[in-house]
């Protein structure tokens, strides 16, 4: 009996249970250190207390959130009431007087509208300008073609013919027209052939076909056809140079029978013929 009375109070069951109810952290420590309960009861008590602690903390969080939401709603309602009061405020007498003085009278409105109507009427000069603009209609395609100069027509026709005649390796260097003397100038950069004879024959053939296709061309008397080839000088420098020129006037061209004449004979019947010495090597 004396030994039981000497046991400290904090080791007794009644005190441990009291601390578990009043302040459970200390109660749990005392229970695990000094109580004579079994392991299973200790685990069950600890789990139950932990569950109540979690539920309590969650409830506190939800309550704080609800309080914040209610406070926000209250602030919004106050703001809405203030705005509504501002909108429903009646204008003062001074504001009403200002609004009434701003409205124009009937006389002022009539005068302003009359002034606007009188200023909008066009003058005689403006009317004449508008009439001139209406009468100057854009020319049609046929009128635009008629406005093309004879020189442009000749060059366009010659360009189409030469493009149709020359080979893929050749290119047009120049299509020119001199109204004085009605001279048509054609310059072609021709490609290099297998031999000088083959290149000369190609130039004769192209000259024949160009003359034949331009037989009915208007505003042309003299046709000057020249061919260029890349030649090297004695220092090895290469540049395009004229190697053959054939000139035919209208009278000569009218005498040519393009269906029977040999191509190489064009050099003999031309009014002027020249070839570079390099073609005879």
Provide the CATH number for the domain around residue 256. Answer: 3.10.310
63 occurs within a structural domain: no
Single out the residue of 93, 97, 24, 9 nearest to residue 54, CA to CA.
24
Q: Which long-range contacts (CB under 8 A, 24 or more apart) does 136-143 make?
A: none
Q: What's the pLDDT at 30?
A: 81
Single out the residue of 280, 214, 197 nearest to residue 253, CA to CA.
214
Q: Reduced to 3 DSSP states, what percent helix, strand and coil does the chain have, rounded to the nearest 5?
A: 60, 15, 25
Separation CA 53–CA 49 (nearest Å): 6
Residue 72: phi and psi, rounded to 5, are: -60, -40
Coil, strand or helix: which one is 239?
A: strand
Separation CA 53–CA 58 (nearest Å): 9
Structure tokens at 71: 């406070």
User: Which residue positions in the chain have pLDDT lower than 70?
Assistant: 1-5, 59-63, 79-146, 167-169
* Torsion, Cα of 121, 122, 123, 129 (10° steps): -170
* Residue 78: CB atoms within 10 Å: 10
- Look up the domain containing 221 and give its range: 148-280
210 occurs within a structural domain: yes
Q: What's the pLDDT at 135?
A: 54
Q: What's the pLDDT at 67?
A: 74
Q: Is residue 200 within 8 Å of 279, Cβ to Cβ?
A: yes
200 occurs within a structural domain: yes
Largest CA distance in the chain: 162
Only one residue has tokens 């109660």, namely: 27
88 occurs within a structural domain: no
Separation CA 142–CA 211 (nearest Å): 28
184 occurs within a structural domain: yes
* Residue 203: CB atoms within 10 Å: 26
Q: What's the pLDDT at 1?
A: 42
Separation CA 37–CA 11 (nearest Å): 12
pTM of the shown model? 0.48
Q: How many domains does the chain have?
A: 1
- Angle at the Cα of 250 from the Cα atoms of 249 and 254, rounded to 5 degrees: 120
159 occurs within a structural domain: yes
Coil, strand or helix: which one is 181?
A: coil
15 occurs within a structural domain: no
Single out the residue of 16, 13, 45, 9 nearest to residue 30, CA to CA.
16
pLDDT in tens, 225-278: 998 988 877 788 888 889 899 999 999 999 999 999 998 899 999 999 999 888
11 occurs within a structural domain: no
Q: What's the pLDDT at 3?
A: 47
pLDDT in tens, 71-99: 777 777 776 666 566 555 555 555 555 55
Q: Is 88 exposed, middle or buried (0-12, 13-18, 19+ CB in 10 A)?
A: exposed
């Amino acid at each position: 009996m004396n030994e039981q009375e000497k046991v400290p109070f904090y080791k007794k069951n009644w005190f441990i249970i009291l601390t578990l109810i009043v302040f459970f952290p200390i109660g749990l420590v005392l229970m695990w250190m000094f109580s004579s309960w079994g392991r299973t009861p200790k685990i069950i008590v600890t789990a139950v207390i932990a569950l109540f602690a979690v539920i309590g903390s969650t409830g506190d969080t939800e309550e704080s959130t609800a309080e914040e939401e209610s406070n926000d709603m209250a602030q919004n309602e106050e703001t809405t009431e203030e705005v509504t009061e501002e909108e429903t405020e009646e204008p003062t007498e001074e504001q009403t007087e200002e609004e009434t003085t701003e409205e124009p009278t009937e006389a002022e409105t009539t005068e302003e509208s009359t002034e606007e109507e009188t200023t909008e009427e066009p003058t005689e000069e403006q009317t004449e300008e508008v009439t001139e603009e209406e009468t100057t209609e854009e020319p049609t395609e046929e009128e635009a073609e008629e406005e093309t100069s004879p020189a442009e027509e000749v060059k366009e026709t010659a360009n189409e013919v030469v493009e149709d005649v020359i080979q893929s390796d050749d290119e047009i260097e120049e299509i020119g027209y001199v109204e004085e003397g009605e001279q048509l100038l054609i310059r072609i950069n021709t490609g290099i052939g297998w031999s000088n004879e083959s290149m000369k024959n190609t130039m004769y053939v192209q000259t024949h076909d160009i003359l034949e296709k331009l037989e009915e061309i208007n505003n042309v008397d003299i046709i000057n056809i020249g061919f260029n080839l890349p030649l090297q000088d004695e220092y090895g420098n290469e540049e395009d140079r004229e190697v053959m020129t054939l000139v035919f006037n209208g009278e000569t061209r009218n005498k040519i029978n393009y269906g029977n004449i040999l191509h190489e004979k064009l050099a003999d019947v031309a009014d002027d013929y020249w070839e570079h010495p390099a073609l005879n090597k």
